[in-house]
Amino acid sequence: MALTPRLPASVFQGGVSKNRSESTLSNPRHLWRGASACAGTHADRSNGLTKTIGIYIHIPFCLKKCLYCDFHSVSLRSYRPLKEYCRALKQDIKISTAEARGYSVKSIYFGGGTPSLLEPEELAGLVRVINERFYIMDDAEKTLEVNPATVNTFNLKAYRRLGINRISLGVQAFDDKYLRLLGRLHTSKDVFLTIKLLRKSGFKNISIDLMYALPEQALASWEKDIDTTVSLGVEHVSFYDLTVEKGTPFYRMRNKLKQPNQDEQARMYKGGCAKLKKAGYVHYEISSFAKKGRESRHNCIYWLNEEYMGVGSGAYSYINGTRFGKDNNLKRYMDEAAQCRISRFNAEELRGVRRYKETLMLNLRILRGFSIKEVQQRLGSPLPALMKDRLVQLVSEGLVLNKGDCYRLSSRGILLYDVVAGVILE
């Protein structure tokens, strides 16, 4: 699962076109690197671009809704408007070009939902429009979220040829009992097979998403999931506790779901961290672990409160000091796009203390923390006195550590991050 701005089943069940055209994908690397007639050469287009941005493309479709999921996605069982939606996305990208003029793109993230439901031809169409409109940096990170129930070798190889260089795999658990309980469509066997196929297809940067604090889950079961993850040798791991969100089937069943208590959850979190660290992963963000140099560049954009452009129904952007969303009503979003319009929702300018609050709150998620000097330079204004007071308070409560002008979460602060965020935002 991606972070917002919205903020991923058995292998090979669906989404496989019977009419693939290998020819349209035979040499698609030029889609990212080459020059379109209207945009000048690759080198020309990079001239004078000093600002960088990440692009997030939201694919709000899944084969079936998982029982805990409150993300903006709809089940494709009876409704399959993928082609129409891709047309709308292309329109959205074209319209968004005006907002992101003057930026180089350092990361592109296809999240959802289940982006791996996209046929390679559909993904190629989106890639083409992005490349026509933006300068993509040579080393840009290009991630696709993949659900193990939706892949086949043909599509994976095609995604790779399209330049996708990072895969975020929604695994959640390795115990089939839990996968069924969560309403996932895949089995642990599907995950092993998917990883094999991903490696065979040339992917060298794979991230796995896991969940802990599952109903009646014991520490040993969670630690077994971590051991299995380590044995797969993936480059990146993210794990999150199961949160029962309002409006989900799990919420209606909440009294029957016996999740581990807070102390047990803290032991699970610490146990997972310790095992991954021992296996050589760097714990670089509260929920994220990476082999050296494999930190998620795209997610770091959010944690540093840098700029991003969200494309798609329900996606959020933060550009030129303004954050805004796009219509999360799928039909309305597609109807508007068909008329060459994309409305903004909940637009707000982030300035002064408010911008600082959000930046520090997000920045503290990165465990190396931040230096005041660096943040001031990034935001172009001095640290407000109120923010200095809040940091002093957090240090005095032992939640944040301070050395010189650098601040970072303490071990206790990591476990109590919600409290830290609350103090900064109040």
Binding site residues, ligand SF4, CB under 6 A: 1, 8, 62, 65-66, 69, 71, 73, 112-114, 147, 170
Residue 71 vs 178, nearer CB to ligand SF4? 71
Residue 114 vs 228, nearer CB to ligand SF4? 114
58: β partners: 111
Residue 64 vs 87, nearer CB to ligand SF4? 64
Residue 145 vs 285, nearer CB to ligand SF4? 145
The distance of closest approach from Cβ of residue 1 to ligand SF4 in the complex, given in angstroms and rounded to an integer, is 6
Residue 80 vs 354, nearer CB to ligand SF4? 80
Residue 96 vs 147, nearer CB to ligand SF4? 147
| Rg from Cα positions in the chain | 21
Residue 181 vs 420, nearer CB to ligand SF4? 181
The distance of closest approach from Cβ of residue 272 to ligand SF4 in the complex, given in angstroms and rounded to an integer, is 20
Residue 57 vs 136, nearer CB to ligand SF4? 57
The distance of closest approach from Cβ of residue 310 to ligand SF4 in the complex, given in angstroms and rounded to an integer, is 16
The distance of closest approach from Cβ of residue 73 to ligand SF4 in the complex, given in angstroms and rounded to an integer, is 4
Residue 64 vs 378, nearer CB to ligand SF4? 64
The distance of closest approach from Cβ of residue 112 to ligand SF4 in the complex, given in angstroms and rounded to an integer, is 6
The distance of closest approach from Cβ of residue 60 to ligand SF4 in the complex, given in angstroms and rounded to an integer, is 8
Q: Which of 107, 111, 123, 116 is nearest to 71 (CA)?
A: 111
Residue 211 vs 391, nearer CB to ligand SF4? 211
SS3 for the chain is CCCCCCCCCCCCCCCCCCCCCHHHHCCCCHHHHCCCCCCCCHHHHHCCCCEEEEEEEEECEECCCCCCCCCCCEECCCCCCHHHHHHHHHHHHHHHCCCCCCEEEEEEEEEECCHHHCCHHHHHHHHHHHHHHCEEEEEEEEEEEECCCCCCHHHHHHHHHCCCCEEEEEEECCCHHHHHHHCCCCCHHHHHHHHHHHHHCCCCCEEEEEEECCCCCCHHHHHHHHHHHHHHCCCEEEEEECCCCCCCHHHHCCCCCCCCCHHHHHHHHHHHHHHHHHCCCEEEECCEEECCCCCCHHHHHHHCCCCEEEECCCCEEEECCEEEEECCCHHHHHHHHHCCCCCEEEEEECCHHHHHHHHHHHHCCECCCEEHHHHHHHHCCCCCHHHHHHHHHHHHCCCEEEECCEEEECHHHHHCHHHHHHHHHC
The distance of closest approach from Cβ of residue 209 to ligand SF4 in the complex, given in angstroms and rounded to an integer, is 9
The distance of closest approach from Cβ of residue 166 to ligand SF4 in the complex, given in angstroms and rounded to an integer, is 18
Residue type, 150: T
Q: In what order do the strands lie in the sheet with 406-409?
A: 370-371, 406-409, 400-403
How many residues are given for the chain?
426
Residue 114 vs 131, nearer CB to ligand SF4? 114
How far is it, in rounded angstroms, from Cα 289 to Cα 304?
Answer: 17
The distance of closest approach from Cβ of residue 311 to ligand SF4 in the complex, given in angstroms and rounded to an integer, is 17
Q: What does residue 318 show for φ and ψ, rounded to 5 degrees? A: -140, 100
The distance of closest approach from Cβ of residue 110 to ligand SF4 in the complex, given in angstroms and rounded to an integer, is 13
How far is it, in rounded angstroms, from Cα 222 to Cα 383?
Answer: 41
The distance of closest approach from Cβ of residue 248 to ligand SF4 in the complex, given in angstroms and rounded to an integer, is 9
